[in-house]
């Protein structure tokens, strides 16, 4: 449990393995705090070491949320394989797919991210059947769970490439994982700064007209808010209900809005 006098965190980090976590813990001067999952606390950062796999990632994310901290920023940090990205490349997810269910989640980068973005596929076990996507074992469960506690534009999946067709997965050990995550720290700093800056930017669009006209689940409300924020950031103007007269329900509205946003030019990304 948290002790008196520990500053309320603004950032929640979920990391699978101790080797991945060690350079992050040192960088942010975090202190071990015990608990069901290994927990490390700083003045404005919480980190928990989840263990490997989707069940572990979901449990650790929910556990961290149960501490009742007011922070809304959530980042899953760790290693991933890729079919072509070079060893040590930092990647932020723009799409997260559960490899077992096929379910997709779409992180929203409403401002320019500090590194390349990629499709991340979460697998049940390690694989060397590489694709033009990043492979991990936690991101989909982390992302889906974090959506219960924050809004989609404040949730990120940040990976560093540890293996590919030219760098064997068999070479990964604790020391190598630590070195890779240490190399990721400047990007992690920049991503935290980017997400924090969202609160100092223009206020989120008013959702009331949309919520009054269509029914949305809690998850769909998060998606709606993020899509409206992203549309305004890319188009330079808000969009209103009048643009979606043909939408029969909330899900249909989200599909139409997602298509509108996808057609807009990205913020200087390759």
Is the sign of the CA dihedral 248, 106, 192, 56 positive or negative? positive
Is 29:42 a contact under the CB 8 Å cutoff?
A: yes
Query: Within 13 A of 152's CA, how many CA atoms are on the CB side?
Result: 24
- The reported pLDDT for the residue numbered 71 is 56
Identify the band that residue 53 occupies on the pLDDT scale cut at 50, 70 and 90.
very high
**For residue 123, what are the CA distances in angstroms to 71, 101, 126, 141, 217?**
29, 10, 7, 11, 27
How far is the C-alpha of 25 from the C-alpha of 30, rounded, in Å? 5
Identify the band that residue 174 occupies on the pLDDT scale cut at 50, 70 and 90.
very high
H-only helix segments in 116-207: 139-146, 174-183, 185-197
- The reported pLDDT for the residue numbered 110 is 78
pLDDT, tens digit (0-9, with 9 covering 90-100), for 245-267: 899 999 999 999 888 877 876 44
pLDDT, average across residues 108-136: 91
Identify the band that residue 3 occupies on the pLDDT scale cut at 50, 70 and 90.
very low
Query: Taking Cα atoms as reference points, which of 190, 142, 4, 152 lies closest to residue 72?
Result: 152
How far is the C-alpha of 238 from the C-alpha of 205, rounded, in Å? 7
């Amino acid at each position: 449990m948290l002790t008196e006098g520990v500053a309320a965190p603004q950032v929640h980090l979920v990391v699978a393995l101790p080797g991945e976590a060690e350079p992050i813990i040192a960088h942010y001067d975090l202190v071990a705090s015990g608990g069901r999952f290994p927990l490390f606390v700083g003045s404005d950062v919480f980190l928990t070491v989840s263990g490997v796999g989707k069940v572990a990632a979901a449990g650790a994310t929910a556990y961290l949320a149960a501490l009742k901290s007011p922070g809304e920023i959530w980042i899953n940090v760790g290693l991933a394989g890729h079919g072509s990205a070079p060893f040590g490349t930092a990647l932020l997810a723009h799409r997260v797919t559960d490899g077992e269910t096929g379910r997709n989640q779409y992180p929203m980068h409403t401002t320019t991210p500090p590194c390349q973005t990629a499709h991340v596929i979460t697998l049940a076990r390690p694989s060397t059947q590489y694709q033009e996507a990043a492979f991990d074992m936690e991101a989909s469960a982390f992302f889906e769970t974090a959506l219960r506690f924050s809004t989609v534009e404040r949730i990120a999946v940040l990976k560093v490439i540890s293996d590919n067709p030219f760098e064997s997965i068999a070479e990964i050990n604790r020391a190598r994982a630590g070195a890779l995550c240490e190399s990721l720290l400047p990007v992690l700093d920049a991503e935290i700064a980017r997400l924090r800056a969202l609160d100092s930017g223009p206020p989120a669009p008013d959702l009331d007209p949309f919520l009054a006209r269509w029914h949305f689940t809690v998850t769909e409300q998060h998606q709606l808010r993020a899509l409206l924020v992203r549309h305004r950031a890319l188009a330079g103007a808000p969009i209103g209900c009048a643009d979606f007269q043909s939408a029969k329900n909330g899900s249909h509205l989200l599909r139409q809005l997602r298509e509108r946003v996808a057609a807009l030019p990205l913020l200087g990304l390759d």
